[in-house]
C-alpha cells in the first residue's frame, strides 16, 4: 500500500459520495456514482484485491450505470425540492 | 433523456451518430473476447463466471445503446434469453449432479475430481471448475441483458400508447 495514493483516492471517494447524494440533477448523480465505483475499484486494486476490483468495475461502473440510466429514462431528470 | 427528446422534437428514435456506431461496432468483439478470457481464466486468476458474464452482457447493452432499442427486440427475443439463463443453471446443477452420479454416490455435490473424464484427477478438477464458470457466465450474461432490455423496452411501449 502506498499511503499518499490511498489518501488521495479515499478523499476523492468521500467527496464524490457526498456530491452524488446532494446534487439535484439525477443524471449527474448517476455519473458521479459511476465515477465513485471506478475510484472504489482503484482503491480495491491498491489494497491488492484484484478480484473485488474486477467485480466493482464490471458491475458498479458498467452494468449498474446502464441500469440506472435506463430507469431514469422512465422518470423525470430533475429532483423536486 | 426526456428533456433531450423535447429539445430535438421530431420524435426521432435515435440520432445515428457515426462515431458512436463505429466505435461500438469495433469495440464489441474485443469486449466479448475479453469476457471469454475472463470466464476461462477465472479458476487460475482474477475474474470468473460472474465477472465475465457481466462483461459479456454489458457488450450487448453497449450494442443496444449505440444502435437503438427499437430493433433489438428481433435480435434478442425474450424466449431465447429465458432459455439461455435456464441453460446456465442446468449446466451448473448438471455438473454438480454428474459428480455424484459418476462416483456412484461416494463424492459430494460439485466434487469435480470424480467426473469420469479421461484425464488426471487435478485436471478433472480444473475442467469441472471451467464448466461451472461457463454455466454461471451464460446465466449472468442473459440476466444482465434481459434486465436492461426490460427496463428500456417499457418506455417504448408507453410512448406507443401515447
Sign of the CA dihedral with B143 first, then B144, B147, and B148 last: negative
**How far apart are the CA of A22 and the nearest CA of chain B, in angstroms?**
21
- Residue from A26, A73, A76, A79 to probe the interface with B (highest B Cβ count within 10 Å): A73
Q: Is B91 part of any domain?
A: yes
Question: In a 10 Å sphere around its CB, with 0-12 CB exposed, 13-18 middle and 19+ buried, how is residue B161 labelled?
Answer: exposed
For residues B41, B44, B48, B49, the Cα torsion angle rounded to the nearest 10 degrees is 70
* Percent of chain A scoring above 70 in pLDDT: 100
pLDDT of A19 reads 94
Q: Report the residue from B1, B46, B144 with minimal CB separation from A63.
A: B144
Mean pLDDT in residue range B154-162:
54
Higher per-residue pLDDT: B68 or A18: A18
DSSP B31: H
Q: Is B134 part of any domain?
A: yes
Q: Is B89 part of any domain?
A: yes
pLDDT of B118 reads 81
Q: Give the residue numbers in A contacting B (CB under 8 Å), as ranges.
A: 50-51, 53-55, 58-59, 62-63, 66-67, 69-74, 76-77
Look-up of cell digits 437503438: B68
pLDDT digits (tens, 9 = 90+) for B133-155: 999 999 999 999 888 888 877 65
pLDDT digits (tens, 9 = 90+) for B53-107: 999 999 988 888 888 776 666 777 888 889 998 999 999 999 888 888 888 877 7
Do the beta carbons of residue A78 and residue A24 sit within 8 Å? yes
SS3 A45: helix
A7 pLDDT band, cuts 50/70/90, is: very high
Domain range summary for chain A, segments of one domain joined by +: 3-72
- Give chain B's domain count: 1
pLDDT of B9 reads 41
Mean pLDDT across chain A, nearest whole number? 90
pLDDT of B158 reads 57
Give residue B20's domain range: 14-69+78-161
B49 pLDDT band, cuts 50/70/90, is: confident
Which residues of chain B does A66 touch, with a Cβ-Cβ cutoff of 8 Å? 58, 61, 65, 148
Q: Is B5 part of any domain?
A: no
Q: Is B8 part of any domain?
A: no
Taking Cα atoms as reference points, which of B103, B152, B157 lies closest to residue B128?
Answer: B103
DSSP A25: B
Which residues of chain A does B38 touch, with a Cβ-Cβ cutoff of 8 Å? 54
**Residue B156: pLDDT over 60:** no
Which residues of chain A does B155 touch, with a Cβ-Cβ cutoff of 8 Å? 73-74
Q: Is B1 part of any domain?
A: no
Which residues of chain B does A54 touch, with a Cβ-Cβ cutoff of 8 Å? 38, 46-47, 51
Amino acid at each position: 500500500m502506498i499511503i499518499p495514493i490511498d489518501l488521495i483516492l479515499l478523499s476523492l471517494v468521500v467527496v464524490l459520495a457526498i456530491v452524488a447524494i446532494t446534487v439535484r440533477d439525477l443524471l449527474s448523480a448517476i455519473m458521479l456514482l459511476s465515477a465513485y465505483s471506478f475510484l472504489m475499484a482503484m482503491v480495491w486494486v491498491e489494497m491488492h484485491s484484484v478480484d473485488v476490483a474486477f467485480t466493482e468495475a464490471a458491475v458498479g461502473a458498467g452494468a449498474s450505470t446502464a441500469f440506472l440510466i435506463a430507469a431514469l429514462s422512465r422518470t423525470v431528470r430533475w429532483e423536486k425540492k | 433523456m426526456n428533456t433531450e427528446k423535447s429539445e430535438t422534437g421530431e420524435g426521432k428514435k435515435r440520432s445515428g451518430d457515426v462515431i458512436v456506431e463505429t466505435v461500438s461496432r469495433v469495440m464489441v468483439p474485443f469486449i466479448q473476447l475479453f469476457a471469454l478470457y475472463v470466464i476461462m481464466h477465472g479458476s487460475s486468476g482474477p475474474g470468473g463466471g460472474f465477472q465475465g458474464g457481466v462483461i459479456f452482457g454489458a457488450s450487448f447493452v453497449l450494442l443496444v445503446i449505440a444502435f437503438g432499442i427499437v430493433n433489438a427486440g428481433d435480435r434478442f427475443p425474450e424466449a431465447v434469453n429465458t432459455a439461455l439463463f435456464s441453460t446456465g443453471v442446468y449446466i451448473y446443477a448438471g455438473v454438480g449432479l454428474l459428480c455424484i452420479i459418476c462416483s456412484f454416490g461416494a463424492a459430494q455435490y460439485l466434487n469435480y475430481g470424480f467426473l469420469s473424464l479421461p484425464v488426471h484427477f487435478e485436471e478433472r478438477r480444473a475442467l469441472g471448475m471451467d464448466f461451472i464458470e461457463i454455466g454461471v457466465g451464460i446465466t449472468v450474461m442473459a440476466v444482465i441483458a434481459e434486465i436492461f432490455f426490460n427496463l428500456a423496452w417499457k418506455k417504448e411501449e408507453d410512448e406507443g400508447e401515447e
